[in-house]
């Protein structure tokens, strides 16, 4: 037991010193008001000033839409991944995981080219006859959502595929042999049993979207107000440490609440699945 503690503590201490302590210092900085006194000025500015509050509401709105789109798109991908044969599964996993490793700068840059007024997306829309002239996509919330969905979809697909993979195919076959149609099998068997994976994906995608930085920076510019770029801009360009700290604390508190909800929902769903 002694040895186990010795092995666990370096990682725990490392995160404590370089993650916990710096964030505690940020929290302390956020309460610095005008003239260096302890006050809630920064929070008042962020949450009550209409201009700054729009950053929070727009971030929440973009994150809700992004998460919803990921839920819809992830089911077919996750289902196919979970039920694929071993060789195919390797290919599909590579296609899902490699983009995560490539990173946001490369993909944000790719979207910047793709979403331009004469980019591939507009060319496709025009060729399909959906629009007559190019639609503005860059520096709009739609463009940011498109980029975020693309970047975050694997974080929804992977836990969902793990959950669907845990459902015995025999269960679906049984439902079908008893006369249930595909849609009904999905609604009554697959969907309820994949809920723990879906819940995990929803929390991860929503949290990552709330704290996203590169995609809103590249695709939103100064036209889409999101919290991540705001923190960066306040910290490095405006050099308003206390205000950047307050915005960070609001974002961080939201994420901690989500994390707790995630652990709680996860264990509740597991308990329910075990009880059945």
Partner 1 sequence: MNDRSILFRAVTVAIYAFLLLPIAVVVVASLNDGATLAFPPKRVSLRWFGAFLTSRQFIEATWVSLEVAVVTAIVALVLGTAAAWALARRAMPFGFIALQYLTSPLILPGIVVGLALLQFAARLGASGSVGVLVIGHTVVALPYAVRAMHAAFTQYDETLDEAAATLGARPLRTFFRVTLPLVKPSLIAGGVFAFAISFSNIMISAFLVGPGTTTLPVRMYNYMEFSNDPTIAAIATLVVIAMFGAVWALHKTVGLGGFFR
Instruction: Kindly identify the residues of this chain, within the stretch 2-21, that bind partner 1 according to CB under 8 A.
Output: 3-5, 7-8, 10-12, 14-15, 18-19, 21
Taking the complex as a whole, how short is the minimal distance between the CB of residue 135 and partner 1, in angstroms?
17
Rounded Cα gap, residues 56 and 152, in angstroms: 20
Euclidean distance between the first and final Cα of the chain, in Å? 36
Binding mask 31-70 for partner 1 (x = CB under 8 A): ----------------------------------------
Task: Please tell me the distance from the alpha carbon of residue 22 to that of residue 11, in angstroms, as a whole number.
Answer: 16
Distance CA 63, CA 77 (A): 21
Q: Give 148's contacts (C-beta < 8 A, 6+ positions apart).
A: 62, 63, 66, 209, 212, 215, 216
Nearest in space to 143 (alpha carbons), one of 123, 118, 114, 120: 114
Binding of residue 94 to partner 1 (CB under 8 A): yes
Nearest CA to 79 out of 200, 196, 162, 182 is that of 162
Cα–Cα distance for residue pair 151/209, rounded to 1 Å: 9
Whichever of 39 and 208 has its CB closer to partner 1, that residue is 208
Residues 6+ apart with CB under 8 A from 102: none
Q: Is the Cβ of residue 50 or residue 243 nearer to partner 1 in the bound state?
A: 243
Q: Is 96 in the site for partner 1 (CB under 8 A)?
A: yes
Closest approach, Cβ 202 to partner 1, in A, equals 12
162 binds partner 1 per the rule CB under 8 A:
yes
The residues in 183-202 that bind partner 1, with binding defined as CB under 8 A, are none
CB of 21 to partner 1, least distance (A): 7
Work out whether 257 is an interface residue with partner 1 (CB under 8 A).
no
Is residue 88 close enough to count as binding partner 1 by CB under 8 A? Answer: no
261 makes contact with partner 1 (CB under 8 A): no
Q: Of the candidates 153, 160, 193, 224, which one interacts with partner 1 according to CB under 8 A?
A: 153
Could you tell me if 249 and 237 are in contact, meaning their C-beta atoms sit under 8 angstroms apart? no
> Among 180, 213, 265, 269, which residue interacts with partner 1 (rule: CB under 8 A)?
213
Q: Does 214 bind partner 1 (CB under 8 A)?
A: yes
Please give the C-alpha separations between residue 265 and each of 84, 178, 199, 211, 260, in angstroms, as whole numbers.
28, 32, 8, 21, 8
| Closer Cβ to partner 1, 141 or 154, answer by number | 154
- Number of other CB atoms surrounding residue 146 within 10 Å: 20
Instruction: Give least dist CB 53 to partner 1, A.
Output: 19
Tell whether residue 268 is a contact of partner 1 (CB under 8 A).
Answer: no
Residue from 89, 134, 180, 269 binding partner 1 (CB under 8 A): 89
Among 232, 268, 270, 272, binds partner 1 (CB under 8 A): 232
Q: Which of 33, 99, 134, 221: binder of partner 1 (CB under 8 A)?
A: 99
Q: Determine, following the binding rule CB under 8 A, whether residue 169 of this chain makes contact with partner 1.
A: no
Q: Give the helix/strand (H/E) hosting 124.
A: helix 120-127
Phi, psi of 213 (to 5 degrees): -130, -60
3-state secondary structure of 91: helix
């Amino acid at each position: 037991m002694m040895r186990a503690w010795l092995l666990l503590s370096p990682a725990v201490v490392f995160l404590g010193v370089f993650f916990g302590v710096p964030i505690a210092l940020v929290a302390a900085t956020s309460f610095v008001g005008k003239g260096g006194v302890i006050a809630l000025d920064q929070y008042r500015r962020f949450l009550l000033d209409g201009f700054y509050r729009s950053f929070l509401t727009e971030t929440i709105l973009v994150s809700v839409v992004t998460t919803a789109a990921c839920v819809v798109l992830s089911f077919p991908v996750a289902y196919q991944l979970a039920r694929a044969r071993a060789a195919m599964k390797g290919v599909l996993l590579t296609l899902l995981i490699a983009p995560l490793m490539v990173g946001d700068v490369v993909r944000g840059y790719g979207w910047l080219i793709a979403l331009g007024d004469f980019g591939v997306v507009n060319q496709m829309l025009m060729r399909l006859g959906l629009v007559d002239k190019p639609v503005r996509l860059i520096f709009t919330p739609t463009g940011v959502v498109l980029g975020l969905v693309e970047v975050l979809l694997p974080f929804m697909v992977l836990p969902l595929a793990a959950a669907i993979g845990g459902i015995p195919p025999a269960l679906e076959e049984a439902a079908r042999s008893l006369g249930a149609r595909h849609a009904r099998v999905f609604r009554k068997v697959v969907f309820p049993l994949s809920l723990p994976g879906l819940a995990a994906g929803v929390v991860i995608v929503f949290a990552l979207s709330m704290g996203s930085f590169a995609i809103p920076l590249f695709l939103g510019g100064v036209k889409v107000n999101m919290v991540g770029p705001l923190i960066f801009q306040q910290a490095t360009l405006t050099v308003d440490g206390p205000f950047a700290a307050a915005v960070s604390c609001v974002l961080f508190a939201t994420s901690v609440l989500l994390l707790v909800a995630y652990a709680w929902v996860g264990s509740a769903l597991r308990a329910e699945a075990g009880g059945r």
